[in-house]
Amino acid sequence: MKILITGGAGFIGSHLVKHYLKKNHSVVVIDNYVTGNKNNLKEVAVNKNLQIVEADLINFSFSSLPQFDIVYDLASPASPAVFEKLSFEIFKVNSIGLINLLDFFVRSKSSVFVFASTSEVYGDAKVTPQPETYFGNVHTTGPRSCYDEGKRFAEAVISAYIRKYNIDARIARIFNTYGPFMNKEDGRFISNFINQAINNQQLTIYGDGTQTRSSCYVSDMVTGLVLLGETKNLKGEIINLGNSDERKVVNVAQLIKKLTNSNSKIVFQPIGEDDPKKRCPDIAKAKKLLGWQPKINLEEGLKLTIQYFRSQSTNVS
């Protein structure tokens, strides 16, 4: 197959690229490296089946590209820590960039389009766990709105393309995901806590830590995305992908402290505006339509991630 992966140098994108290369498919990556990292694809850079295009979707012509069997659109900064700094990049890639990509998809008569949406479309959810039918509770002008509304706009645009051009597009609502190749400086809770714990720094909890997240190991996420791209008859489907093992943030910090044998102190700092209090995916639809559910439990996934972060700090020093 011919696969296009935008944001292919990012955390989840680079795992998806490696999955398809391992299966001997031909992969084109488009990334502008705003949050993606060339090092994420270093081990596959010489693979003849991989073409990397350094470009921004908002002004790329696509004229050099062929027809694809599957287009995965993962091009967007995603960490709340960069929402203020990169708000316009987020708005543009999820609007102008997405429309350019969809126009190319229609023009090239490519087959399946998979969009990486987010649990953030549910905002500070009043319903938990969150099913795909929940319309969400998003603060439209708050500090997270560039991402939340960017992705909601993107879902609306894709739905309009399905109606107008009858394209086979599918939407993944991706919940918190972690694992090797996470950006160390990304500001996410799991990467922050692991870095802090292995460097004997204080673990910084925002708020009282009773807010919950449900974290999915990256290999499970990739399996879910691949099934979403490759399963027949899913046109127009919106599917939550995530692990429904819901934990309080403070408990994840304690678990990471234990797994790293760290003496670091846990400290509490002010929480950002609109930080969702409860996040947990209802994955009944993914189970039914994709036959998918996560396999790696939190403890196991954290151990693998800690190992990776330790290997990175060894490489640096």
Residues that bind ligand UDP (CB under 6 A): 79-80, 176, 187-189, 192, 204-206, 211, 213, 249, 271, 275
Minimum Å gap between C-beta 219 and ligand UDP is 19
Q: Quote the DSSP letter at residue 94.
A: I
Q: How far, rounded to the nearest angstrom, does the alpha carbon of residue 29 sit from its chain's CA centroid? A: 16
| Max CA pair span of the chain | 58
Residue 30 is encoded by which pair of tokens? 């488009």
Residue with tokens 């599918």: 170
Specify the 3-state DSSP secondary structure of 132: coil
- Terminal-residue alpha carbon distance, the chain: 41
- Name which of 110 and 305 has its Cβ closer to ligand UDP: 305
- Name which of 25 and 277 has its Cβ closer to ligand UDP: 277
Minimum Å gap between C-beta 246 and ligand UDP is 12
- Name which of 20 and 189 has its Cβ closer to ligand UDP: 189
CB proximity list for 134: less than 8 A, separation 6 or greater: 122, 125, 127
Minimum Å gap between C-beta 211 and ligand UDP is 4
Minimum Å gap between C-beta 218 and ligand UDP is 14
CB proximity list for 138: less than 8 A, separation 6 or greater: 120, 121, 122, 123, 124, 145, 148, 149, 152
Task: Kindly tell me the burial class for residue 270, based on how many C-beta atoms sit within 10 Å of its own C-beta (0-12, 13-18, 19 or more).
Answer: exposed
Number of other residues whose CB lies within 10 A of the CB of residue 165? 12
Q: Which residues have a catalytic role annotated?
A: 147
- Name which of 238 and 249 has its Cβ closer to ligand UDP: 249
In contact, 156 and 194? CB cutoff 8 Å: no
Residue 283 is encoded by which pair of tokens? 């994955």
- Name which of 61 and 141 has its Cβ closer to ligand UDP: 141
Minimum Å gap between C-beta 119 and ligand UDP is 8
Residue 33 is encoded by which pair of tokens? 């490296």
In contact, 257 and 264? CB cutoff 8 Å: yes
- Name which of 166 and 202 has its Cβ closer to ligand UDP: 202
**Sign for the pseudo-dihedral over CA of 144, 219, 224, 215:** negative
Query: Residue 118: in which H helix or E strand, if any?
Result: strand 112-118
Minimum Å gap between C-beta 249 and ligand UDP is 4
